[in-house]
Amino acid sequence: MSTSDTVEPDRPEAVDHDTVPPARKGLLALAAVLLALPVVALMWVGSYSRDEPRLGAFPFFIWYQFLWVFLCSALTYTAYRIVLVARPHRPMDDLDTDRQERA
């Protein structure tokens, strides 16, 4: 990396972490709801503590919980992508470039 690519604190293009826009609270709340859905659905045992309908040889109790394995991963990934959009990118300063230049 050349010295023209580094950021110096006394230059106007240096990163000012106080001017980064705040996180979008509505999107963060949506991500929290997506993460809470599997917890609520699986703790409400009365909704799936039955034998019928069966999926092949598996009772409803088993395949319902197994379905939530995939739903959980999809909801977690979706919440992660929403959080990336909701929280603005905060670029780091040039601490790593100083270490690389000394080496």
Asked whether residue 43 is assigned to any structural domain, the reply reads yes
The answer to whether residue 80 is domain-embedded is yes
| Per-residue pLDDT tens listing for the chain (103 residues) | 455 555 555 555 665 556 667 788 999 999 999 999 999 999 999 988 889 999 899 999 999 999 999 999 999 999 999 999 998 776 656 555 555 555 5
Number of domains in the chain: 1
Residue 84: strand pairing partners: none
Q: Considering the entire predicted model, what is its pTM? A: 0.66
Beta carbons of 93 and 14 less than 8 angstroms apart: yes
Q: Which domain holds residue 73?
A: 20-90
> What are the residues whose beta carbons fall under 8 Å from the beta carbon of 63, sequence distance 6 or more?
55
Q: How many CB atoms lie within 10 A of CB 79?
A: 20
Q: Which token pair is 52?
A: 């019928």
How far is residue 63's CA from residue 4's CA, in Å, rounded to a whole number? 59
How many other C-beta atoms are found inside a 10 Å radius of the C-beta of residue 31?
Answer: 22
